[in-house]
Amino acid sequence: MLQMLLKLIVLMFSTLLLVVIRVQVIQSQLPVFTRFDNPAAVSPSPARQLTFNYLLPVNAWLLLNPSELCCDWTMGTIPLVESLLDIRNVATIAFFCFLGTLLIFSLRYAGDSSKTVLMALCLIVLPFIPASNLFFPVGFVVAERVLYVPSMGFCMLVAHGWKKLSSNSVLRKLSWVCLSLVLFIHALKTLHRNWDWESEYTLFMSALKVNKNNAKLWNNVGHALENEKNFERALRFFIQATQVQPDDIGAHMNVGRTYKNLNRTKEAEESYLIAKSLMPQIIPGKKYAARVAPNHLNVYINLANLIRANESRLEEADQLYRQAISMRPDFKQAYISRGELLLKMNKPLQAKEAYLRALELDRSNADLWYNLAIVYIELKDPTEALKNFNRALELNPSHKLALFNSALLMQESGDARLRPEAKKRLLNYVKEEPHDANGYFNLGMLAMDDKKDAEAETWMKKAIKLQPGFRSALFNLALLYSQTAKELKALPVLEELLRYYPDHTKGLILKGDILMNQKKDIRGAKECFEKILKMDPNNVQGKHNLCVVYFEERDLIKAEKCLVETLALAPHEEYIQRHLSIVRSKIALLGTGEAATIPSEKTTASEGGKTPPEDLKGAKNENLKVAKNEQRSSRTTNSDSNKGQAKPKKQGEKNTTDKETKKKSTKEIKDIEKKRVAALKRLEEIERILNGE
């Protein structure tokens, strides 16, 4: 007795522990099932009781004759038993009669045989009780998996019955023949069934051969085809699911999603609207989550995500997100999607509130911290943005977007102390995304900032190799060559850049400057500047450099006229006024005969020095994308337009006017140049913002 009590105590505590663990797993809430999962559970009496009782002989028949196996028995697989006159009630009565007979035999008669039968009945009945719908509804009608342990008891009954038959001398041979036949047939069935489990597609297709009235099976075949990107075939199965079960919300959602994948947005919206119309109405004072599957609420998210592509329907999309939140206040995805939309609507403060609410529900979500960092960038608070990026990386050190954009933020801060960490994060990023040229490009920009020209060249070349025609990488590589006295190596790079982007103004200016200053190809430089003016007649730099070309061609009258027109475009630019004075002085010298010819020794230089690299500032918004979109863009460029502002340099003349010009203070010229470069940078910043580069 003591030993038995000890076993019972251990069994009770073990069971209690399992129950506690199970409650923790389901977060102290029963799962939410819909009427599609178990139609009998929501049916009125007596259909509910008759159907639940009929399911018992159905399970027994699967044990006795597992010929038609199906991976899913929900929805309309087994029609409801709605009347006492239904012929299927005979099977229910026969099952209970047989079970009662076995129970009476095991309890009434003593001996090993009755004990064996009782043990077999216990193995069949007790493990099956939790799945029997007797104490609480379950999320399925029939499930072959719950028959695994009961099948042990069933095998005991078969073995015990065969032993009884084989002990009879008359039936011994027949019992052996029957046993061999059963084993052989079941072995063949097992072998055949294994092929059904080859893939999701074969499994669900085999189920459709058994039952065509289950919409979930049609949906699952569609999902399998969808995973293979076979959207056209998947659509046919999803549509069939809606025909089998017209009120199945999930099926209509699947149709809408597939239409969206096929870029048929109008049909997609219609399907989502049908699914939305099937959602139950809100009952005041009753929790919505208790009456509908949480995944069905995604119809609001999917519909809103679809229509927000239309800029004129952003408010409508926001209303759908708010409706989903009102139905389920703990619907985290609704807050995330709404935050993305609010950012798109330029409402960063409301987006911040949405993300903070989502973080209250899940503080371990790295994507949420990342998205909150984006909000702070929109709010012009880079310090707080970097903190949130760091929090996202603490939770997920390999978060690719956080690695990439936090590195950009560090680089754009201009703080040299942050560059090593920025480089480390970019290196981690390229490990995660080895085929993304943007990572290598930004490593190259970091190397340029650190004056590591050879390393910068390597990274830029790798970015171009991965993404031929990478605009920013091509220009900055050419610029790197021009800044390191390798102008002739820059020309092929510029040719490639202009082959992809013929209207790249900054590239044309840089090419023209190199042709004029290094190759002495005045004609080629002239073509570059004329092309710029053809695209943009008011481009001051292109216009000014064309004036320099005229000067180099010794056409002073044309150079003067050109500079007058350029000065009209930029009347406050001192260097244009100064160059115009120089040209007029030359014309005056020629007019008085004091200078018979234009001096043959001529050089040109860039007004304001070398062209700065394509600016990293302002690319922030283009590169910092929210977690639902895994897109990243390279940092845009904006400051290369200073390159190529060539100015004519005066040659030695005996004229007094020229001598006075030569005597200008060096300090004065440097001050003028500094002011001009600063002004140009400000203009370029404005141009970048207006052009959205």
Whether the upstream peptide bond of residue 420 has omega within 30° of 0, thus cis, is no
* Dihedral angle, C-alpha 395, 401, 407, 409, nearest 10 °: -100
pLDDT of residue 200: 92
Using the structure block, give the residue that is written with the tokens 């294994």.
194
In contact, 343 and 378? CB cutoff 8 Å: yes
Residue 492: C-alpha distances to residues 136, 470, 486 (Å)? 76, 14, 11
Under the banding of pLDDT at 50, 70 and 90, the label for residue 534 is: very high
Radius of gyration of the chain (CA): 40
Within 8 A by CB and 6+ apart from 286, the residues are none
Per-residue pLDDT tens for 576-632? Answer: 999 999 999 988 888 765 433 333 233 333 333 333 344 322 222 233 333 333 333
Q: Report the pLDDT averaged over residues 356-383.
A: 93
pLDDT of residue 285: 57
Within 8 A by CB and 6+ apart from 209, the residues are none
Per-residue pLDDT tens for 61-76? Answer: 999 988 888 888 887 7
Per-residue pLDDT tens for 243-274? Answer: 999 988 999 999 999 999 999 999 999 999 99
Distance CA 575, CA 585 (A): 15
pLDDT surpasses 60 at 672: no
Using the structure block, give the residue that is written with the tokens 């499994």.
203
pLDDT of residue 288: 52
Q: Report the pLDDT averaged over residues 478-505.
A: 92
Distance CA 192, CA 67 (A): 11
Instruction: Please report which helix (H) or strand (E) contains residue 427, including its range.
Output: helix 419-432
In contact, 474 and 464? CB cutoff 8 Å: yes
Q: Which of 404, 444, 458 is nearest to 428 (CA)?
A: 404
